[in-house]
C-alpha cells in the first residue's frame, strides 16, 4: 500500500503544478491588459465650410426712352458765326466737338435761341443708331419741326464745303433716337466729317 500511495501522491502533485502553469501563465509574466479601450465618438466630423460665393452680377442699366427725331447736321463752315465751333451752352466741351462715345458724346443743337427756351436742357444725352454715335445737347438754334429736332455737329474741318454738305445730307432724316441711353451701344468713334471722308455706317 505504501508504493501505491506514493504513486497517487505523485500524480496529484503533477496535476496541481500543471493547473498552476495553465492558469497563471509563465512565472513572472505580466498579466494581460484589461484596460478598456477609448470609446469611439458617435458624433460625425463637422463638414468644411462652403467656399465663399461670388457676388451676383450687376444688373444691366435700363434702356433709355425711344424717340423718333428729325436729324440734321451743322459744320465748321455753316456754324454761327461761320468758320467757328462756338456753342452757347457747353457742358463737356468748350467748343463743339466730341468723339461720339458714351464718355465723349458729340455736340448737338436743339431748338431754342441763345440757350433760351431750349427743347431739351443742356447736358441731355441721346444715342443715334443711324450714325452710331452718342450726342449731348450743348447748343441751341436748331429749327423747329413737328418732331424733336437734333442738329448734330459733324465738324468738317479740312474738307470742301460740297463734301461736308453731302455728308450732312447723308445723315438727314427722320431717325430713331434713344433718350438718356446707357453705355455699351455700338459706336464709330470720331467726327462725322473729317477731311473728305464721311464716317457713317454703310448699308
Q: Residues, the chain, total?
A: 203
Instruction: Quote the pTM value.
Output: 0.71
Q: Residue 69 and residue 48: Cα distance in Å, rounded? A: 61
Closest C-alpha to 136, from 110, 165, 106, 111: 106
What does the pLDDT profile of the chain (203 residues) look like in tens digits? Answer: 455 555 555 655 555 555 545 444 444 545 555 555 555 656 666 777 777 777 777 788 899 999 999 999 999 888 888 888 999 999 999 999 999 999 999 999 999 988 889 999 999 999 999 999 999 999 999 999 889 999 999 999 888 889 999 999 999 999 999 999 999 999 999 999 987 799 999 86
Cell numbers of 123, please?
Answer: 447736358
Cell numbers of 24, please?
Answer: 497563471
Q: Residue 77 and residue 183: Cα distance in Å, rounded? A: 31
Q: Residue 128 and residue 145: Cα distance in Å, rounded? A: 18
Amino acid at each position: 500500500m505504501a508504493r501505491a500511495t506514493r504513486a497517487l501522491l505523485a500524480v496529484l502533485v503533477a496535476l496541481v503544478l500543471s493547473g498552476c502553469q495553465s492558469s497563471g501563465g509563465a512565472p513572472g509574466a505580466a498579466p494581460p491588459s484589461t484596460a478598456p479601450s477609448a470609446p469611439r465618438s458617435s458624433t460625425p466630423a463637422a463638414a468644411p465650410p462652403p467656399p465663399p460665393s461670388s457676388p451676383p452680377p450687376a444688373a444691366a442699366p435700363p434702356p433709355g426712352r425711344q424717340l423718333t427725331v428729325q436729324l440734321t447736321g451743322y459744320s465748321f463752315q455753316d456754324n454761327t458765326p461761320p468758320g467757328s465751333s462756338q456753342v452757347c451752352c457747353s457742358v463737356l466741351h468748350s467748343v463743339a466737338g466730341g468723339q461720339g462715345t458714351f464718355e465723349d458724346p458729340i455736340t448737338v443743337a436743339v431748338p431754342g435761341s441763345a440757350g433760351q427756351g431750349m427743347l431739351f436742357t443742356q447736358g441731355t444725352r441721346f444715342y443715334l443708331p443711324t450714325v452710331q454715335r452718342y450726342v449731348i445737347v450743348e447748343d441751341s438754334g436748331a429749327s423747329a419741326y413737328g418732331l424733336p429736332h437734333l442738329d448734330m455737329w459733324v465738324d468738317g474741318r479740312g474738307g470742301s464745303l460740297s463734301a461736308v454738305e453731302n455728308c450732312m445730307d447723308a445723315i438727314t432724316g427722320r431717325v430713331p433716337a434713344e433718350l438718356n441711353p446707357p453705355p455699351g451701344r455700338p459706336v464709330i468713334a470720331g467726327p462725322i466729317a473729317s477731311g473728305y471722308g464721311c464716317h457713317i455706317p454703310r448699308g
